[in-house]
Amino acid sequence: MISAPDVVAFTREEQLDDALYSEPPLPEEYSVPLFPFSSHGANPWAKVASSKFTRDFILISEFSEQVGPQPLLTIPDDAKVSGTFDLNYFSLRIMSVDYQASFVGHPPGSAYPKLNFVEDSKVVLGDSKEGAFAYVHHLTLYDLEARGFVRPFCMAYISADEHKIMQQFQELSAEFSKASECLKTGNRKAFANELEKKLKDLDYTRTVLHNETEIQKKANDKGYYTTQAIEKANELASVEKSIIEHQDLLKQIRSYPYRKLKESDFHPYEPECALEQADAGSEQDPAASDLAEAGEMQLYNHMPSYTPKLIKAKSAKCFDKKLKTLEELCDVYFFTQTLDQLYQIERTFRGDMCYLLTEQISRALLKQQRVTNFLFEDVSLLDEKQPENQYRGCQGLGHDDIDRKCLEESSAPKVVISLGSYKSSVECVPIKMEQEMKDSQESRMSESVTFEQQDNLDYLDADLKGSISSGESIEVLGTEKSASGLTKSESQASLPVSPSPQAGRSKVGSRRTVSEDSIEVLSTCPSEALIPEDFKASYPSAINEEPYADDEDGGLRFAPKPAPAGAEQREDAANQEALVQVDSACCIGKESPGFLEPLAELGQKPCDEDGVVRIPPQPYREAEQGLHGAFGGFPSHEGVSGGLLPYELDSRYLTGSREVSKSSLDECSDSTSYISSAASTCSDRTPSPAHPGCRAGDRHRKRAGQGALRFIRQYPFAHPAIYSLLSGRTLVVLGEEEAVVRKLVTALSIFVPNGAVYAKPVKHWVTSPLHLLDFQKWKLIGLQRTGSPGGVNVLHALSRYSRYVSILDTDSKTLRCPLYKGTVVSRLADHRTQIKRGSTYYMHVQSILTQLCSKAFLFAFCHHLHLPISEREPEESVVNRRMNFLKLQLGLANEDIKIVQYLAELLKLQYIQEPGQGGSPLLRFDYVPSYLYKI
């Protein structure tokens, strides 16, 4: 909704006229980034043409102890997908970079084999020869029959687009972690089951052996042992040892640290959560576990009883045995869950990078608008918990990092060493023997990147570019050891180390955690926190920040000024810094319309902006932070402008002055996106939805957008009709043919703001007379016109309630509704628009509606626009101020005011509504004359 994806590909410099530059620039978060490779003269899709596969896919491979690395399955499960790509070879490659410190076996000093619960390792690989880049997620599953009880697996997301992998690393990592967690949970259960069975077998064997020995003992009274007897005794002893071993293993697998699962990051599958936790509970308490175990066994295995069988003394550890399949290794249920998850990952990340980015950015932005997004967005799509959590976590981390960065950068010493980065770089083991020197050098280099970030950046850049195009085709582009949870726990989070400069650069752009940029940061836009209060005013770049400064100083702020921090808090400030940051991020997440929210953002904002400027396509994280500042700025703007400050309300957000140029761009991109998509490696061009349900929504949008386009072209009186919808006056679409009416209602529904309830207040087809209650509930109604007496009643009712409705007659092509003389709708629905595609138009509409929403938000949440500043202030002056604000500050004319007022009213209603309470819908209306429009 914020930006149309099909615009992105067409942003080469020559397209941008000078006229564009003279206009007030869009905020960076909204602007369409320049294509970074435009200087190479290539289209963005050309460089990936060398890859041998047609689209992204997920590969699961195993390092089989029998045959070595082998691919197991691909997602999507289609031979065409991988094409000529050599899966075997690639499996070999990706399995050779397993960093898991998976050590299972007999550790020195321990009598029994020991299971290690290793973290998964996440690596990014590039194979420039094959043109394949992969995010590789290694994991270890347990198998009783396997060597060392472990079976190494890996899941890889393979794409031809290196940038996608690099920039979506966090997301990929989070999603794959979920899949892996699911797989491992199932595996642990299966493993425990297997152990139990084995124990029963052993027990049975022991009994049998014991009996045999006894029998032999009895039969043999010669006083000496036969070799047979000795053999039996040995066998018995070994069985007993093996029982103990297995019991120990069982205990170990049961004692898996479930606390990790309880962290909010890991709840991939809700239904299981309860079970797992119950599980965990029972297993953490070994004494009580027996009963629960029994129950659990039944629950998971549905095995009525297991008949133990005799185990041969020398179990054949050999190659003649067939190893368990992945499905057998995990519970079937968990296996299918994992597959589902993987399919969803594939769906989520497929498509071109720019789709992903725009999708993510707009979703992140929408989440920022917690207060307003219910108006025109399908909130159900935003309501998922998972991304929310992840996103929050990331945000927290991001803040953390950035904050620390700011701290570090601001300090004089150039040497910044973090424990984490040190550690992780040490763990970055060279993969290939013959490349060891180079790699280790590289990793050293990368260390030095973090160490001496500022000085030799350019040098490094030039130097290391060579290594990318070097003969060796596989490079480790990046690795991250720890899961996000780990990062939090360590006070000094591990910075991801990037041996390759390219990767490093991308990382910088994407996360802004690596501090390479600090020179630029310092030189271009100093963080405000650094500027002493006194200099602030005179500092040129502080102009933009003025509102904030004002907000800080002014007495107009809504909440009382917080007391200075206590002395004891200072004590462990440095330690708590990180935590506090996360906290504040959480607070913000929960309480979006905060007046003081921007305050928390101040520290980061300048850095953010810098980062945004530098690297054009950014994953949503930093965009959102930048935006966070920007959007967070609104309340502060408004807190001040309630008192009518002289400065202009930030026109960049509020004016739609670029609409014209935008729509012409749109047009171009409409026609070109076909070409570009043909060049694109990904087979389907549609914006990849981050949610499976999006598909239908997309189609709906496209259709509705197309219909709306047709409507505005066909009907010259589209503006007043749309105005009716936007200002909350019910529009009745009257017609004889149901299909026509339904189609029109669908098309117009994109202009209908949602009420307090989440469902769109749209009724597609009604045949009975309308009643007042209908207008209260529905804002867009399709009504049947019939010649029958009943039909006359319908019309009577309509004419009776005519003051509450606008009536669009599809049969005679007439419209009866109030006059509209504003400007917003004409931008929204220009019948000469060059937009041709429905989805593009939909986005155009959404962007303008978002502007309206932000205006409504400002209006609704400005304290002094609604309440007197002092107690003695008369009501009229408040009203005056309100109208002035609407007219001058928000630049609204005539009827546009009513639109914003209506939206603001909806916002208010939504905000003050108590959660559980439905709230009775109310009908607002005006006594305004209606006019009849004809074609």
407 binds other proteins (CB under 8 A): yes
Q: Compute the Cα dihedral for 857, 859, 861, 862 and give only its sign.
A: positive
DSSP assignment of 884-916 equals HIIIIIS---TTHHHHHHHHHHHHHHHHHS-SS
Least separation in angstroms between CB 757 and other proteins? 16
Q: H-helix or E-strand containing 743?
A: helix 738-748
User: Interface residues for other proteins in 220-249 (CB under 8 A)?
Assistant: none
490 binds other proteins (CB under 8 A): no
Least separation in angstroms between CB 927 and other proteins? 4
- Gyration radius of the chain's alpha carbons: 33
Which CB atom, from 417 or from 893, has the smaller least distance to other proteins? 417
Least separation in angstroms between CB 608 and other proteins? 16
* Choice from 57, 595, 717, 933 touching other proteins (CB under 8 A): 595
| Rounded Cα gap, residues 620 and 280, in angstroms | 36
Per-residue CA distances from 257 to 116, 145, 248, 260, 262 (Å): 11, 23, 16, 6, 10
206 binds other proteins (CB under 8 A): no
| Rounded Cα gap, residues 424 and 418, in angstroms | 10
User: Segment contacting other proteins (CB under 8 A): 201-209, 332-340, 560-568, 698-706?
Assistant: 560-568
User: Segment contacting other proteins (CB under 8 A): 57-65, 662-670, 821-829, 922-930?
Assistant: 922-930
Which CB atom, from 391 or from 857, has the smaller least distance to other proteins? 857
Give the pair of three-digit tokens for residue 868.
């007197």
User: Interface residues for other proteins in 329-358 (CB under 8 A)?
Assistant: none
Which CB atom, from 143 or from 608, has the smaller least distance to other proteins? 608
User: Segment contacting other proteins (CB under 8 A): 234-242, 251-259, 599-607, 622-630?
Assistant: 599-607
Which CB atom, from 55 or from 367, has the smaller least distance to other proteins? 367
# residues contacting other proteins (CB under 8 A): 89
Which CB atom, from 190 or from 602, has the smaller least distance to other proteins? 602
812 binds other proteins (CB under 8 A): yes
User: Interface residues for other proteins in 418-477 (CB under 8 A)?
Assistant: 418-419, 422
519 binds other proteins (CB under 8 A): no
| Rounded Cα gap, residues 576 and 608, in angstroms | 22
User: Interface residues for other proteins in 875-904 (CB under 8 A)?
Assistant: 901
Helix spans in 26-120 (H)? 79-82, 87-95
Least separation in angstroms between CB 599 and other proteins? 4
| Rounded Cα gap, residues 611 and 521, in angstroms | 8
Residue 359: which residues within 8 A CB-CB, separation 6 or more? 5, 687, 688, 689, 690
CA angle in degrees (0–180, nearest 5) for 229-230-233: 90
In this structure, the number of other CB atoms found within 10 A of the CB of residue 319 comes to 10
Work out the burial of residue 188: count CB atoms within 10 Å of its CB; fewer than 13 is exposed, 13-18 middle, 19 or more buried: buried
| Rounded Cα gap, residues 511 and 620, in angstroms | 10
* Choice from 325, 683, 799, 880 touching other proteins (CB under 8 A): 799
* Choice from 593, 643, 656, 891 touching other proteins (CB under 8 A): 593
Which CB atom, from 555 or from 562, has the smaller least distance to other proteins? 562
User: Interface residues for other proteins in 747-786 (CB under 8 A)?
Assistant: 771-773, 776
Least separation in angstroms between CB 517 and other proteins? 18
416 binds other proteins (CB under 8 A): yes
Strand order in the sheet with 121-127: 68-75, 57-64, 150-159, 132-142, 121-127, 474-480
| Rounded Cα gap, residues 773 and 810, in angstroms | 24
Least separation in angstroms between CB 447 and other proteins? 11
* Choice from 274, 287, 739, 912 touching other proteins (CB under 8 A): 912
Residue 383: which residues within 8 A CB-CB, separation 6 or more? none
User: Segment contacting other proteins (CB under 8 A): 122-130, 198-206, 648-656, 790-798?
Assistant: 790-798
* Choice from 114, 260, 760, 863 touching other proteins (CB under 8 A): 863
In this structure, the number of other CB atoms found within 10 A of the CB of residue 153 comes to 25
* Choice from 157, 391, 820, 861 touching other proteins (CB under 8 A): 861
801 binds other proteins (CB under 8 A): yes
Least separation in angstroms between CB 596 and other proteins? 4
Which CB atom, from 561 or from 695, has the smaller least distance to other proteins? 561
Q: What DSSP designation does 917 have?
A: -
Per-residue CA distances from 195 to 172, 191, 236, 250, 293 (Å): 33, 6, 19, 6, 13
Which CB atom, from 203 or from 809, has the smaller least distance to other proteins? 809
* Choice from 750, 807, 892, 899 touching other proteins (CB under 8 A): 807
User: Interface residues for other proteins in 642-681 (CB under 8 A)?
Assistant: none
CA 827, 830, 836, 837: dihedral to nearest 10 degrees? Answer: 50
- In the three-class reduction of DSSP (H, G, I as helix; E, B as strand; rest coil), residue 535 is classed as helix
| Rounded Cα gap, residues 471 and 458, in angstroms | 23
| Rounded Cα gap, residues 499 and 479, in angstroms | 9
Least separation in angstroms between CB 906 and other proteins? 10
* Choice from 56, 161, 597, 666 touching other proteins (CB under 8 A): 597
User: Segment contacting other proteins (CB under 8 A): 259-267, 271-279, 409-417, 647-655?
Assistant: 409-417
Which CB atom, from 5 or from 639, has the smaller least distance to other proteins? 639
Least separation in angstroms between CB 568 and other proteins? 12
| Rounded Cα gap, residues 820 and 414, in angstroms | 62
111 binds other proteins (CB under 8 A): no
User: Interface residues for other proteins in 254-283 (CB under 8 A)?
Assistant: none
Which CB atom, from 435 or from 806, has the smaller least distance to other proteins? 806
Strand order in the sheet with 780-784: 762-766, 780-784, 730-735, 805-809, 814-818, 930-934
* Choice from 104, 529, 556, 668 touching other proteins (CB under 8 A): 529
User: Interface residues for other proteins in 562-581 (CB under 8 A)?
Assistant: 562-565, 569-570, 573-574, 577, 580
| Rounded Cα gap, residues 137 and 78, in angstroms | 21
